[in-house]
Structures are given as C-alpha cells and as structure tokens.
C-alpha cells in the first residue's frame, strides 16, 4: 500500500487573505461542505482570533463538517490559541495551527524579538495548544528564508512539546523546486526527533513555482502533507493549487508512488463554487479547471483524440468533474426538484422563507432563460440578500438607453434600508451610466479597482456574472451580480459590493 499524501486545504484562510476574496459565514460554510465532498483531509476554516466573523465561521464549520479535520490558525500566543480551541469545540476532529516567524528579517523588523524569545514563544505556544487539543501544527513563518540551524533548534523543541505536524512555509514564494526539496530533506535529516511528526509544505506562487516547489518538498524532502487552495486562490500570486497537486500525484503515480484520498470528480464543482463566491475568475488555460483545459482545437489534436484519447489526453475531463456542466432544470421543474438540486450542490438554506425566495428567483430566471445550469443556481443563491438579515441596498429595476453617437443614460430604482430611491445619470457606456446613477444617491465615495464580466455557462444566451471590486478606507470588497442582462448584473454587483462595504468587519491581518 502506497504512502498517503495529506491534502490540507486553506482556501478559507490563506485563500481568503487575498484582497477582495473575503467571504461571509454562509459562503464559507457552503465551500466547507464542498471541500468535505471533495474529501480533503484537513480544512483550515479560518483564523478564529482575527474577528468575531471568522470565529463564528470556524465554529459553524467545526459543528457541521464530520468527515474532514477542521483547523484554525492562531498566532503563537495564549489568547489566539484559546480562541481557536473555543471555536473548534464540537468538531469531530480538531487541529490548532500555530505560527511565529523565524527568519532574521521577520524576527528583527516585524516581531522585534530576539531569536531566543521566538524560540521560547514557539515552545510555550505548542505546549499550551497541546493541552487543549491532541492535533497541533506548528509553522515557522518565512521558514524557507530562516537560518537552518536556528530552525532546526526551534523545530526539535516544538516536536518535544508535542507538535504533530511541522509545516515549512515559503511565505514569500522565493524558493525553487530543487533547493526547497533539499531544504525539507536536510531539516528531516538534521533534527533527531523528526520522525515523530508529519512534515508539511506550504508554498506561495510569487515566481509561479508553488506547485513545483510543493511537489519537490514531497518527492525530495519526504513531506507527507501539502497545503493548498482551490484555484490557487491567495494573496499576491496565490497559493499552491489543490487541483494541480492532486492530479499531478494521481496522473504520475508511477513517479510519486503516493495515494490521495480526494474524490477528483468534485474538483470542477469546487473550482466553480470558489470562483463564483469570490469573483476570482479562473483563466481559460488554467491546468485542470480552466475552460480550455480539455479543449482540443487544432485539427491534428482533434483527429488524434477521436482515434485514441490518450494520444493527447493524460487525464479524462469527466474524472475531474467536467461532466457536471449539464442542463439541470427548466421552466417546468417544481419546488422539490429545485430543493433537491440545491442539496446536491451543497447549498443548505436555513429556512423555508429562503427556499421560497430562491425558488421565486429560479422561476423568474427560467421564464427568461430556457436552460438552467448548476452555475445559474449557484449564482441565484450566492446573492447574500437571500441568506443574510436585512441588507442596506437592494436592486429594484433599471432602464437605460444607448444608441450609436449618443451618450448613454440610465435610470435606476433601488432600496436603501427598505425605502425606494431613484437615481439617474449618463455615462461613457450603459454600465458606467447605471453605476453612476447608483452612486448619485449612495455617495459611497468608493474607488472601483476591478470590473469584470463573465458568461456563466459559455454562450451569449447564458447569464452574465459581474464582479465589482470596491476599495474604501483601506477595505477591499467584491460584489457579485448575475442576470441575463449584463447591465442589470453590473448594478446588482455594485449594490452587493456597497452592502459589503457597509457591513463593517473587524478582521486583523493573519500575518500581523
């Protein structure tokens, strides 16, 4: 029986640290359910001490998910660790992941601590965490740029204190595969008690090598856990992509000789869910989950694939869940079929009222669009007005006029705290006019840092899904809106972003 490679997913923690990718508690729970269906071994659900919102998200995930270990990040101090343990109470299997920086640069400039102080704090943190849970992971932040002898001393001590997993982050994405692989190998060889813990890799993608570095950490270094995110979501250039790691290890089992417990048919649904929830669109040529990943356009390739698939295909599209893109419901589908499809997609709405609202929206959409795909359903329910209390802003109606040679004009009706207001404006294009019409009333003063439109299921008949990223007073939020009319989708996305800006949260940076 081959060795097992543990898949540790940090989409909901490190992935969420990407500006604009922050998710609500309900969104996180929905993604956690999908990660459970994907059969990831460990879900890092958040950083419980960073905000009340994140605490509640970790708590609800810990109480709901049964088949994956649920983990919370915490800095190396008693308060963070206690908060993590509190949030994890009730989990079928719980892990605390505590970290402190060990590179000379981070210790001196960021922590303003001596190496001895860091060493002591790491020991105390792991000891404290081990009194609360049996499964404790320790990460020396910026580990790859740390002095190797100092790192060995710290890691040896935390193993003695009971750390069960040691994770070596390449926090700034500086590593190259061969050197990173040997770095892990050297640590394991030099540390006398290294066999008492599982070794883990955590690579950022600044030089586009996160997956290659992680695989080298596994192959050369002997690591048996990889930390990764769906679609490689994460700060700056992102994290190591889960789908690429899993499919590399599966497809090249001859080379890696490792087992992964993942249900690969859930990869594409997970990718879509994360992309739709965060508004981070997947590039078409992205390995495994990009729209073109299995498309053979050249005549020679098409001919080859028709004669024998394996001439040009090393993986089968259906093995990673591509067949999920099918028409699921239509105009005549009833409430029960709709409810069942929501359940299959992992969307559990809290009340009958929410299901009724979602079903009414589904019927409205089915009147305008004959084929309803899974993506349409997810877009319908990803609108936070369905699941949250009362939102400040709500879309009511929009009319706009544009004609060649004339300046477009839009008139919008929307609600502010339940009361209808009207706004009008012209603009460079119909979308610009519509958003200016909203702003003429909302006066948020927010700066738009991203606007993108995507066809949910490929053709012009599909719904347009719009992402609007707004920045205001240091906060960055994503709003998402979907509608067959992309100008309406844009207005909905803008209002959704304003709602997120309005709901102040008190997150603190995980790397702080």
List residues near ligand KIV by CB under 6 A: 14, 99, 139, 141, 169, 171, 202, 204
**Rounded CA gap, 477 and 155, in Å?**
38
User: Do 224 and 259 form a contact (C-beta atoms < 8 A)?
Assistant: no
Nearest to 260 by CA among 219, 226, 295, 211: 226
At residue 175, the 3 state secondary structure works out as coil
In the complex, least distance from residue 436 CB atom to ligand KIV, rounded to whole angstroms: 39
137 binds, among ligand KIV, Zn ion, none (CB under 5 to 8 A by kind): none
In the complex, least distance from residue 415 CB atom to ligand KIV, rounded to whole angstroms: 40
Binding site for Zn ion (CB under 5 A): 14
Closest to ligand KIV by CB, 119 vs 272, is 119
In the complex, least distance from residue 204 CB atom to ligand KIV, rounded to whole angstroms: 6
Q: Which residue in this structure is represented by tokens 């081990």? A: 130
Alpha carbon of 181 to those of 99, 214, 218, 220: distances in Å? 21, 8, 7, 5
Q: Which residues pair with 467 in a beta bridge?
A: 452, 480
Beta strand pairing status for 6-9 and 3-4? Answer: unpaired
In the complex, least distance from residue 177 CB atom to ligand KIV, rounded to whole angstroms: 17
Closest to ligand KIV by CB, 241 vs 398, is 241
200 binds, among ligand KIV, Zn ion, none (CB under 5 to 8 A by kind): none
- At residue 133, what are phi and psi to the nearest 5 degrees? -140, 160
In the complex, least distance from residue 139 CB atom to ligand KIV, rounded to whole angstroms: 4
Closest to Zn ion by CB, 14 vs 375, is 14
139 binds, among Zn ion, ligand KIV, none (CB under 5 to 8 A by kind): ligand KIV
Closest to ligand KIV by CB, 45 vs 358, is 45
Closest to ligand KIV by CB, 141 vs 384, is 141
463 binds, among ligand KIV, Zn ion, none (CB under 5 to 8 A by kind): none
**Rounded CA gap, 225 and 264, in Å?**
17
59 binds, among ligand KIV, Zn ion, none (CB under 5 to 8 A by kind): none
99 binds, among ligand KIV, Zn ion, none (CB under 5 to 8 A by kind): ligand KIV
**Rounded CA gap, 430 and 167, in Å?**
50
Nearest to 96 by CA among 13, 194, 210: 13
Closest to Zn ion by CB, 34 vs 200, is 200
Phi-psi map region of 373: left, alpha, beta (phi>0 left; psi -120 to 50 alpha): beta
User: Do 222 and 185 form a contact (C-beta atoms < 8 A)?
Assistant: yes
In the complex, least distance from residue 76 CB atom to Zn ion, rounded to whole angstroms: 16
At residue 138, the 3 state secondary structure works out as strand
Q: Which residues pair with 327 in a beta bridge?
A: 373
Closest to ligand KIV by CB, 14 vs 41, is 14
Closest to ligand KIV by CB, 68 vs 171, is 171
Closest to ligand KIV by CB, 93 vs 102, is 102
Ranked by CB distance to Zn ion, the top (closest) residue is 14
In the complex, least distance from residue 272 CB atom to Zn ion, rounded to whole angstroms: 24
In the complex, least distance from residue 75 CB atom to Zn ion, rounded to whole angstroms: 14
In the complex, least distance from residue 335 CB atom to ligand KIV, rounded to whole angstroms: 43
Beta strand pairing status for 372-373 and 327-329? Answer: antiparallel
Alpha carbon 94 to chain centroid, angstroms: 20
141 binds, among Zn ion, ligand KIV, none (CB under 5 to 8 A by kind): ligand KIV
User: Do 248 and 210 form a contact (C-beta atoms < 8 A)?
Assistant: no
C-beta neighbour count of 467 within 10 angstroms: 25
């Amino acid at each position: 029986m081959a060795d097992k490679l543990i898949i540790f997913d940090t989409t909901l923690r490190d992935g969420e640290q990407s500006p604009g990718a922050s998710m609500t508690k309900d969104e996180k729970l929905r993604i956690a359910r999908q990660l459970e269906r994907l059969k990831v071994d460990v879900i890092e659900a958040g950083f419980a001490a960073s905000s009340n919102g994140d605490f509640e998200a970790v708590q609800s995930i810990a109480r709901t998910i049964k088949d994956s270990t649920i983990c919370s990040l915490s800095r190396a101090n008693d308060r963070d660790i206690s908060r993590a343990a509190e949030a994890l109470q009730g989990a079928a299997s719980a892990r605390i992941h505590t970290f402190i920086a060990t590179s000379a640069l981070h210790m001196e400039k960021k922590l303003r601590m001596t190496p001895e102080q860091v060493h002591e704090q790491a020991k105390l943190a792991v000891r404290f965490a081990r009194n609360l849970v049996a499964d404790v992971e320790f990460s020396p932040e910026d580990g790859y740029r740390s002095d190797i002898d100092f790192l060995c001393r710290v890691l040896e001590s935390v193993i003695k204190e009971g750390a069960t997993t040691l994770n070596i982050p390449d926090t700034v994405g500086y590593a190259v595969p061969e050197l990173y692989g040997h770095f892990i190998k050297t640590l394991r060889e030099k540390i006398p008690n290294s066999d008492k813990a599982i070794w883990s890799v955590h690579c950022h993608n600044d030089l586009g090598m996160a997956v290659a570095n992680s695989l080298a950490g596994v192959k050369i270094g002997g690591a048996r856990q990889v930390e990764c995110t769906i679609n490689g979501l994460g700060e700056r250039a992102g994290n190591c992509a889960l789908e690429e790691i899993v499919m590399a290890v599966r497809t090249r089992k001859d080379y890696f000789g490792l087992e992964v417990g993942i249900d690969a048919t859930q990869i594409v649904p997970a990718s879509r869910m994360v992309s739709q929830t965060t508004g981070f669109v997947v590039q078409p040529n992205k390995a495994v989950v990009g729209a073109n990943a299995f498309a053979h356009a050249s005549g020679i390739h098409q001919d080859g694939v028709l004669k024998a698939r394996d001439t040009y295909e090393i993986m089968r599209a259906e093995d990673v869940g591509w067949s999920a893109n099918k028409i699921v419901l239509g105009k005549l589908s009833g409430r029960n079929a709709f409810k069942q499809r929501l359940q299959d997609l992992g969307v559990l709405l809290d009340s009958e009222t929410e299901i009724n609202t979602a079903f009414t929206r589904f019927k409205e959409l089915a009147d305008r669009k004959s084929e309803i795909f899974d993506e349409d359903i997810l877009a319908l329910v990803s609108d936070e007005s369905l699941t949250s209390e009362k939102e400040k802003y709500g879309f009511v109606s929009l009319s706009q006029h544009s004609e060649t040679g004339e300046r477009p004009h839009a008139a919008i009706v929307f609600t502010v705290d339940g009361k209808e207001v009207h706004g009008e404006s012209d603009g460079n294009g119909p979308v610009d006019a519509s958003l200016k019409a909203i702003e003429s009333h909302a006066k948020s003063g927010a700066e738009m840092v991203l606007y993108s439109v995507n066809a949910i299921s490929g053709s012009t008949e599909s719904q347009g899904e719009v992402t609007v990223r707004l920045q205001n007073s240091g906060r960055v939020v994503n709003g998402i809106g979907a509608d067959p009319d992309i100008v309406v989708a844009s207005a909905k996305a803008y209002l959704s972003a304003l709602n997120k800006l309005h709901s102040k949260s008190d997150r603190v940076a995980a790397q702080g």
